[in-house]
Amino acid sequence: MIKTESLLEELFDNSKNMVLVTDERFSIRYISSNVETIFGVKPYSLLGKNAFEFAPADKREVWQNCIQQFLANKSSEISLKTISGKELHFEITFTNHVNHNEIRGVVIFLHDITERKLAHKELIKTNNHLDHFIYKTVHDLQAPLQSALGLVGLAESSQANEKDHYLKMIKSSIQRLDSFIVELNSFFKNDKMAIQNEEVDLESLFHEELATLQNMPEAHGIKINFSVDTKAMLHSDVIRLKTILTNILSNSIKYSDREKENRFINVKASV
């Protein structure tokens, strides 16, 4: 056992990984000294204690049964907190060496996977940001495109002397679309969609969006009214606010009941 302990100390005491050796009843006979560095606990204070005292209650019985039945190595994951409250994640492996001439027990190896877990969480967060960005882009690009298509339809059926008028409107709609793409690009690059706090004129913002949306084919025959109690100036993220306003208005237009007469959308705002 002295030779085994010496080898274990050499392998694990200077790493973030830990190793325990227990007897067949899982009482701790050896634990690597880096348990003090990682958890602030003296190794000798754990000797003789049952290893499963530190395992999650919901996994304790399953792990214990697996080892007692002399099954193949059992691996799982465990999360433990240090004295300072920091959460560490380990991949834990049980190896049955009860019949080994020197070890005569169970070797429990804890491999630190905290960095891998944090990287995985960050990847999920990034993917959620990307999903949101793609959804926002698809939804927000539809309105100016539908507006341009609506104007193309009007231009096709108009008189020759009216076509220039519609072409100017189509150009204006496409320019708004181009401006929106530039804004989205800036929005995505800016510290992973950080909130921007700037002065916004809500009334101007509304009329800018309305100029694009009112040319949607579905908008024909809908009266859109906007009113504010006072001059609606506020501080917010203009791109996000524009997205909210565009979504509300475009959905109101898109899903309106075309069978009804005197269709309208009333928008009221106050700060």
What is the percent of the chain where pLDDT is above 70? 79
Residue 4's pLDDT is what?
57
Instruction: Indicate the length of the chain as a whole number.
Output: 271
Each residue's pLDDT tens digit, 44-98 = 888 888 877 776 677 667 666 666 654 455 667 777 777 777 888 888 787 776 5
Q: How far apart are the first and last CA of the chain?
A: 76
Query: For residues 203 and 219, what is the distance between their CA atoms, to the nearest angstrom?
Result: 20
Each residue's pLDDT tens digit, 169-209 = 877 777 777 767 766 666 666 545 567 788 888 888 888 88
Is residue 69 a contact partner of residue 60, using CB atoms and an 8 Å limit?
Answer: no
Residue 65's pLDDT is what?
67
Residue 68's pLDDT is what?
60
Distances in Å between the Cα of 34 and the Cα atoms of 9, 18, 38, 40 are: 9, 7, 6, 9
Residue 71's pLDDT is what?
45
Distances in Å between the Cα of 179 and the Cα atoms of 142, 172, 191, 235 are: 14, 11, 20, 21
**Beta strands of 60-197 (E only): which ranges?**
74-81, 87-97, 105-112
Provide the pLDDT confidence category of residue 16 given band limits of 50, 70 and 90: confident
Q: Which amino acid is at 167?
A: L
Selected residue with higher pLDDT from 40 and 100 = 40
Selected residue with higher pLDDT from 114 and 7 = 114
- pTM of the predicted protein model: 0.44
Selected residue with higher pLDDT from 118 and 94 = 118
